[in-house]
Amino acid sequence: MVVSLVSLLSLLGACASRSIEVAPKPTDPAAYVTWDCDRLHDEIDAVQFRAADVAYAVDARAGNNMIALGLGVTVFWPALLAMRPDGPEAVQLAELRGRYDALNVVSARRACGPPSEAMPARRAAALPVALGERLVYEERVGQGNATRQLVLQVTALRRDQIEYRVDLDGRAFDAGWRQDRAGNVMLDARAPLIGWRQLLKTDLVLGQVLSGELAAADEDVASARVRGQVVATGDQTVAGRRFDVAVIELFGESPNARGSADDLTQASTRLDGVMAVDRSSGVLLRLEVRSSNADFAVRRRLLRIDPAGR
């Protein structure tokens, strides 16, 4: 994940009395000396994802919306620590930066070199889906009852994301579909489907409260702010495959439908729904969002998984 230079300059310019950032909490590198390079790289990635989540929460609460997320796995630590977090978030960022530094010390001592762009083999083997497999969904969008078939074919397993090719009712799209390790959609250059950003986490647990954005298929439509809560977790068989499922209740507000009479009286309309994802991969199992704005009304459920080469 990358914080843009423009965002950093804007952030620092907005701070009339810039405090020196949160100081890292030292972590003993000895805790990681037995780890191999793949495990070190995996943990460095996980620490950075968690740090970006914490910083995003600080930024969203302040209303800055300055962090450019979803562009990769690397975070720009000076910008994250300059956001003037306080309380538990400051403690978390200090601990995460300390772990990050310790992991990099051990990585340098072992001469690990840069991580591969490909997903480590042991992590890929543990996923519930494999390269080339086709995830076949039934999807209904808007207020009508017509359904369509959505196919996401796994085309790449990268260390920080899974990439898919998109086919809708037999028509392939040039733009693909990319999800990070938690299952959030990379909204840039995506196929025209409803997606979600910064909503899911890699460590979903029962009762956890979430927040993020729901993006319409049409990129010209403003995103909806959504919140969620994990209401159930556990193993479940879906489409003949075993998944480690988290069920999330969704609620929030979407912009009013374009051209609606409500545009003159209110700025948004309520939405609610439910989402089920696999916790190990972020694979979507079910999404149902109810909203009077057809741009955000959707039902999508996994029907089956076709093998590679079919």
Give the 3-state secondary structure of 87-115.
HHHHHHHHHHHHHHHHHHHHHHHCCCCCC
Structure tokens at 196: 């979600």
- H or E element in which residue 8 lies: helix 5-14
Structure tokens at 197: 């950003």
Three-state DSSP at 227 gives strand
Q: Give the whole-angstrom CA distance, residue 127 versus residue 278.
A: 10
Identify the structural domains of the chain with CATH numbers, from first to last: 5-109 (no CATH), 122-306 (2.40.360)
Q: How far is CA 25 from CA 22, 85, 87, 94, in A?
A: 9, 15, 14, 5
Who wins on pLDDT, 71 or 289? Answer: 289
Give pTM, 2 decimals. 0.78
Share of the chain above pLDDT 70, in %: 79
Three-state DSSP at 210 gives strand
Overall average pLDDT of the 254-264 stretch: 65
Overall average pLDDT of the 41-51 stretch: 87
Structure tokens at 137: 């969904």
Q: In sequence order, which residues have a C-beta less than 8 Å from that of residue 301 and are 6 or more positions away?
A: 137, 138, 285, 286, 287, 288
